[in-house]
Chains A and B, each alone.
Chain A
Amino acid sequence: MSSVVFDHVSKVFDGTVAVDGLDLTIHDQEFMVLLGPSGCGKTTALRMIAGLETVTSGTLSIGDRVVNDIPASDRDIAMVFQSYALYPHMTVRKNIESPLVAHRGRRVDAAERERRVREAADILGLGDYLERKPGALSGGQRQRVALARAIVRRPEVFLMDEPLSNLDAKLRTQTRTEIVELHRRLGSTFVYVTHDQVEAMTMATRVAVIANGRLQQTGTPDEVYRRPANLFVATFIGSPPMNVIRGVARDNGAGLELAAAAGTLTWSTPVSAVGIGSELVAAIRPEHLHVDPAGTLDFTVRAIEQLGHERHLLGRSGDADVVVRQSSADAPIAIGESLRLRPDPAEVHLFDPATEARVD
Chain B
Amino acid sequence: MATRPSPGRASGRRARDSLLAASFLAPAFAVFAVFAYYPLYRLVYLSLYRPNRNTFIGGSDEWIGGSNIIDSLTSSTFLRSLAVTAKFAVLTVPMGIILGVLLAVAADRKLRGIRIFQTIFSSTVASSVAVASVVFFTLLQPEAGLWRNVSWLSIKQPGSALVAISTTAVWQNAGLTFVIVLAALQALPSEVREAAELDGYGPVRRFFRITVPLISPALLFLAVVLVIHALQAYAQFEILKPTNDAQPLLYKIADPEGVETISSRAVYSLGLFVVSLIVSIAQFGLLERRVHYGE
Q: Is the A/B pair a real complex?
A: yes
* Chain A residues within CB distance 8 Å of chain B: 50-52, 71-75, 77-79, 81-83, 85-89, 98-99, 102-106, 133-135, 149, 153
Chain B contact residues: helix, strand, loop or mixed: helix
B194 touches A88 (CB 8 A): no
- Which residues on the B side are within 8 Å of A71 (C-beta)? 197
Q: Give chain B's interface residue range (CB within 8 Å of chain A).
A: 20 to 34
Which residue of B has the minimal Cβ distance to A107?
Answer: B200
Contact of B197 among A73, A86, A153 (CB under 8 A): A73
Contact of B201 among A51, A73, A77, A105 (CB under 8 A): A73
A85 touches B192 (CB 8 A): yes
B292 touches A85 (CB 8 A): no
26 CB contacts below 8 A, A to B, read A52-B197, A71-B197, A72-B198, A73-B197, A73-B198, A73-B199, A73-B201, A73-B202, A79-B198, A81-B191, A83-B189, A86-B192, A87-B192, A87-B196, A88-B214, A88-B292, A89-B213, A89-B292, A99-B200, A102-B199, A102-B201, A103-B199, A105-B200, A106-B200, A133-B295, A134-B295
Within 8 A of A (CB), among B184-213: 189, 191-192, 194-202, 205, 209-210, 213
Which residue of A has the minimal Cβ distance to B290?
Answer: A89
Which residue of A has the minimal Cβ distance to B214?
Answer: A89
A106 CA to B198 CA, complexed, in Å: 12
A75 CA to B200 CA, complexed, in Å: 9
A83 CA to B247 CA, complexed, in Å: 54
B59 interface residue (CB < 8 Å to A): no
Interface string of B279-295 (1 = CB under 8 A from A): 00000000000001011
- Most B CB contacts (10 A, CB to CB) among A77, A82, A102 go to A102
A102 CA to B198 CA, complexed, in Å: 9
- Which residues on the A side are within 8 Å of B295 (C-beta)? 88, 133-135
A89 CA to B196 CA, complexed, in Å: 13
B194 touches A102 (CB 8 A): no
A71 CA to B209 CA, complexed, in Å: 20
With contacts A87-B192, A88-B294, A102-B205 taken as known, whether A78 is within 8 angstroms of B198 at the C-beta atoms is yes
B191 touches A83 (CB 8 A): yes
Which residue of B has the minimal Cβ distance to A150?
Answer: B198
Sorted nearest first, the 10 A-B pairs with minimum C-beta distance are A103-B200, A135-B295, A85-B191, A89-B292, A85-B195, A102-B200, A89-B213, A102-B199, A102-B201, A99-B199
A133 CA to B197 CA, complexed, in Å: 21
A85 touches B197 (CB 8 A): no
Which residue of B has the minimal Cβ distance to A73?
Answer: B200
- Which residues on the A side are within 8 Å of B205 (C-beta)? 102
B294 touches A85 (CB 8 A): no
- Smallest beta-carbon distance A79→chain B, Å: 5
- Smallest beta-carbon distance B203→chain A, Å: 9
B199 touches A98 (CB 8 A): yes
Which residue of A has the minimal Cβ distance to B205?
Answer: A102
- Which residues on the A side are within 8 Å of B294 (C-beta)? 88, 135
- Which residues on the A side are within 8 Å of B202 (C-beta)? 73
- Smallest beta-carbon distance B194→chain A, Å: 5
- Smallest beta-carbon distance B101→chain A, Å: 17
A84 CA to B200 CA, complexed, in Å: 17
- Which residues on the A side are within 8 Å of B200 (C-beta)? 73-74, 99, 102-106
A253 CA to B191 CA, complexed, in Å: 64
Which residue of B has the minimal Cβ distance to A74?
Answer: B200
With contacts A88-B214, A89-B214 taken as known, whether A81 is within 8 angstroms of B194 at the C-beta atoms is yes
Which residue of B has the minimal Cβ distance to A72?
Answer: B197
A200 CA to B134 CA, complexed, in Å: 67
A207 CA to B205 CA, complexed, in Å: 38
A74 CA to B196 CA, complexed, in Å: 12
- Which residues on the B side are within 8 Å of A87 (C-beta)? 192, 195-196, 210
A50 touches B196 (CB 8 A): no
A103 touches B195 (CB 8 A): no
